[in-house]
Amino acid sequence: MTLIKLDQKCIKSVQPASIFALALSNPRSWLARFARTSILSVLSDAISVGQLTITDSEGSRTYGRYRKGSNTVQLAVINDAFWLRLMFSGDLGFSEAYMVGDIEVEDLKSCMDLWLDNQTGMEETLSSSFARISSAASGLYNSFFGQTKNQARLNAIASYDQSNTLFKAFLSHEMMYSCALWDDAEGGVRGDLEMGSTPGDLEAAQRRKIHHVLRKARVKPGHRVLEFGSGWGGLAIEAVRTFGCEVDTLTLSVEQKTLAEERIRAAGLENKIRVHLMDYREIPPEFENAFDAFVSIEMLEHVGAKHYQTYFKLVDFALKSRDATAVVSASTFPESRYTGYQSEDFMRRYMWPNSCLPSATALITAAQVASHGRFTLECVENHAAHYPRTLREWGRRLEKNLSQEMIAQDYPALRERANYDAFRKKWQYLFVYAGAGFAKGYITCHMLTFIRQNDCPELCD
């Protein structure tokens, strides 16, 4: 979702006399009113699919047209700070307003779908010279929000995501924080909507994903596997237990390493799995040509565009020169939307700071350049259709299992109810926001399999 930019005509909708009077009496109130008038003035042209009703202290206004099957969204503005957040920060500002309670939305998913259904109209209509005013005015953002309690709350919850307790509350038993693969046994990618969820569905789908990855990596008994991004050891444990290999896995999280090693010991596999607290760029010389297979599941989002070639150069370094396979997966942008520079949005501000979604083409190109042609692309898969259900399942589990008392043991600041509510809403927003993006094709999820240049190909599943 892109930053909202407004049309020149919205500037004319606020009379000079009223602007002057408001600006003298209360600069923030004036700017909020100006933002409100500016934004509302262009919504009629921006929304052509579905219907949006906005209610605030001055009444209700409806935009778009109701049609059967289209999204109908009711949005209540509780605090006029919403208009400022939206004007200054667009997508990011909307998420912040939701988290701190500046707005209330009856159906967040329908709201996300409405935006994506009207993305072209939004981008074409909410444009032109007001963008320059908005850009210049954004320097005032910290003056209005920097020291407020709500902004302090947002700053705090941005870093409350290293708790193993949190992830245990919504992940499957394997603790895979990545897209599951659904099949007929669970009713497919919409089984939860059509038949309802049943216990064990997520676990089965995550085990299927792990096995699929390891089969694509051609892992066999006695093989040595290198993994970038340990998570909590779920893939490494299954690789050793089911496929009979050895695993070296890398993580930068002390919390993940601690719990992964506990789980590995509980499985009796400590002699087969080594968890390294290590940046992938620091792999030791003895890793050269030492591995039969390489796997990395949704870690590439944290590498950054300028480091893709370094990443694949090190994969090439670590794998054997023959009979070796690399499998990588990542949330991705479609090629038409990909750029190496990605501005701050909800994801990059509150979930994964400094992350950058690659495109499949960017990764394939980097792999070929970095390996000097020693990799052959064997298979490309897009798992995006499987992600919305994964996110829905996580959301249900979080609502069921997470409590304020539980998470406050790790983060005492969350004992304050307002902080906890903002924290919980952040995760609700993530699951719906990302789910809508995958469902509408705004983002994708690719898995790429590479083999050595003279290795025999296999059929893609």
Residues 6 or more apart whose CB falls under 8 angstroms from that of 133 comprise 11
Last residue of a domain, one of 122, 147, 172: 147
Tell me, what's the pLDDT at 137?
Answer: 47
- Which pLDDT score is estimated for 151? 56
Number of structural domains, the chain? Answer: 2
pLDDT at 142: 44
- Reduced to 3 states (helix: H, G, I; strand: E, B; else coil), residue 57 is coil
How do residues 79-135 score in pLDDT, each as one tens digit? 999 998 888 888 889 999 999 999 999 999 999 999 999 887 776 655 543 444 444
CATH of residue 299's domain is: 3.40.50.150
Is 126 or 381 the better-scoring residue by pLDDT?
Answer: 381
pLDDT given at position 140: 45
Of residues 459 and 3, more confidence is placed in 459
Task: Look at residue 175 and tell me if it is in a domain.
Answer: yes
Please indicate, yes or no, whether residues 325 and 254 belong to a single structural domain of this protein. Answer: yes
Quick one: 197 and 343 in the same domain? yes
Tokens, residue 444: 């994708």
pLDDT of residue 68: 85
What's the burial of 317, exposed, middle or buried (CB within 10 Å: 0-12/13-18/19+)? Answer: middle
Do residue 185 and residue 125 come from a single domain? no
Which of 99, 119, 147 is the C-terminal boundary of a domain? Answer: 147
**Pair (119, 171) in one structural domain:** no
Q: Give 305's DSSP letter.
A: G
Task: State mean pLDDT over 318-342.
Answer: 95
Per-residue pLDDT band for 153 (boundaries 50, 70, 90) equals: low
DSSP state of 205: H
**Do the beta carbons of residue 74 and residue 99 sit within 8 Å?**
no
> How far is 30 from 33, CA to CA, in rounded Å?
5
Say what the pLDDT of residue 152 is.
Answer: 53
Average of per-residue pLDDT values in the chain: 87
Is 457 a domain residue?
no
Q: Does pLDDT of 308 surpass 60?
A: yes
Confidence band of 148 (pLDDT split at 50, 70, 90): low
Claim to verify: residue 169 and residue 133 sit in the same structural domain: no
Q: What confidence tens digit (pLDDT) does each residue in 393-432 have? A: 999 999 999 999 999 998 898 999 999 999 999 999 999 9
> pLDDT at position 135, please?
43
- One domain, residues 33 and 168: no
pLDDT at 395: 97
Residue 101: domain span = 27-147
Question: Can you tell me whether residue 45 is helix, strand or coil?
Answer: helix
| Residue 211 and residue 303 share a domain | yes
**Per-residue pLDDT reduced to its tens digit, 12-46:** 444 444 444 444 445 568 888 888 998 898 888 88
Under DSSP, the state recorded for 391 is H
CA atoms within 13 A on the CB side of 26: 6
- The DSSP letter of residue 248 is E
Alpha helices, DSSP H, located in 217-349? 234-243, 254-266, 308-318, 346
Query: Is 178 in the same domain as 133?
Result: no
Alpha helix (H) residue ranges in 64-129: 81-100, 108-117, 119-125
Residue 461 pLDDT > 70, yes or no? no
Closest CA to 428 of 86, 50, 112, 93: 112
- pLDDT, average across residues 374-384: 97
| 159 assigned to some structural domain | no
Does residue 229 sit in the same domain as residue 92? no
> The tokens 């895979």 sit on which residue?
176
CA 297, 303, 306: angle at the middle one, nearest 5? 140
Q: What is the DSSP letter of 437?
A: H
**Angle 81-100/149-157 helices, nearest 10 degrees?**
40
12 lies in a domain?
A: no
Residue ranges with strand state E in 340-389: 375-382
189 in the same domain as 251: yes
Three-class SS state of 69:
coil
State if pTM tops 0.85: yes
Is 301 in the same domain as 420? Answer: yes
User: Which tens digits make up the pLDDT trace of 44-88?
Assistant: 888 989 999 999 999 999 999 888 888 999 999 999 999 988 888
HSE-up (13 A, CA, CB side) for residue 180? 29
- Collapsing DSSP to helix, strand or coil, 401 comes out as helix
**pLDDT in the model for residue 86:** 87
Overall average pLDDT of the 381-388 stretch: 98
